[in-house]
Structure 1
Amino acid sequence: MAHQTLMEALHMNIRRQSTELVSVEMPVTGSVKQPMGFLHGGATVSLAETAASIGGMQYVDPSSQAIVGIEINCNHLQAKKDGIVTAEATPIHIGKKTMVWNINVVDEDNQLIAISRCTLGIINTNPKED
């Protein structure tokens, strides 16, 4: 699933995957830092949306449906220069056309780095059936 994707480019790894919790980790390396040497907010948001999207895929039929991001917000609470950050996504709302996920991004010491909320859309991958 992650081959030639942003997950691969940012070295994200799925650590846990269930309908109630998805955990995806990402090392804080040069490829995810901003010019001042800290974890880039965009990388943190990418990690959060990835975890939510993986969770969302568990609620749809992958042969005819897909998950797409509609909206995401993120509050960056603590700077990070190295180590590993992990997005822990939990569902808030699972509907027929949308989902809402809460994502906490923590470091290897379980310190809260960022909090995020992501709204996902459920789309039909066979447009002839719309």
Structure 2
Amino acid sequence: MNFSKEEILARANSVSKNTLMETLNIEMVDVGEDYLIAKMPVNERVHQPDGVLHGGATAALAESVGSFAAHIFIDTEKYFVRGLEITANHLKSVTSGTIYAKATFIHRGRTTQLFDIRVTDEEDKLVSYCKLSTIALPKAK
């Protein structure tokens, strides 16, 4: 990483303005050499009609943290990142609090990346297990 942890998190959170990430209150909160962690509050904005966390909101959190992680570790002057596929296995219901998603590299190729994304609750219990594949494509000159 060429920037400090604080600079990376500030940059990631600043580009979320007027996006789905802002709508869902997704915030990047920690970064390391091969991972990125985001959090999202669980409230009525992300509930299903019966009051539990919507799987689509969980998938949006997972894709957001994985895509941001891919951006952090590539040259964004030359490449842009797009998601190719996401899978989500929802294992535990959540009705309130905060959930955390940690994206860790499984494969860190020049063109494709694969992430293991574990979504946990405030007690570090697994809520969803996700995998995301992304692709880095050259920007038009």
Q: Does TM, normalized by the shorter one, top 0.5?
A: yes
The answer to whether residue 39 in structure 2 is matched with residue 30 in structure 1 is no
Between the aligned partners of 1:9 and 1:123, the Cα distance in structure 2 is: 27
Q: Secondary structure at the match of 2:127?
A: strand
The answer to whether residue 31 in structure 2 is matched with residue 17 in structure 1 is yes
1:89, CA displacement in angstroms? 0.7
1:97, CA displacement in angstroms? 1.2
CA contact (8 A) 1:11 1:27 kept: yes
The corresponding residue for 2:115 is 101
Which of these residues, 99, 106, 114, is aligned with residue 128 of structure 2? 114
The answer to whether residue 64 in structure 2 is matched with residue 63 in structure 1 is no
1:108, CA displacement in angstroms? 0.6
Question: Which contiguous aligned blocks of 4+ residues in structure 1 show a shift greater than 3 angstroms?
Answer: none
Residue range with higher mean Cα deviation, 14-23 or 87-96: 14-23
The answer to whether residue 54 in structure 2 is matched with residue 40 in structure 1 is yes
CA contact (8 A) 1:19 1:58 kept: no
1:76-111 Cα offsets, whole Å, 9 max, x none, are: 000000000000110000112110000000001111
Residue range with higher mean Cα deviation, 81-90 or 11-20: 11-20
Gaps of 5+ in 1: none
Tell me the TM-score normalised to structure 1 length.
0.94
The RMSD of aligned alpha carbons is: 1.0
Q: Secondary structure at the match of 1:62?
A: coil
CA contact (8 A) 1:19 1:55 kept: no
Which of these residues, 91, 110, 113, is aligned with residue 77 of structure 1? 91
CA contact (8 A) 1:18 1:55 kept: no
CA contact (8 A) 1:25 1:87 kept: yes
1:4, CA displacement in angstroms? 0.8
Q: Secondary structure at the match of 2:75?
A: coil
1:13-61 Cα offsets, whole Å, 9 max, x none, are: 1111233111000000111111111100000001011111111112211
Q: Secondary structure at the match of 1:110?
A: coil
Q: Percent identity?
A: 34
The corresponding residue for 2:5 is none
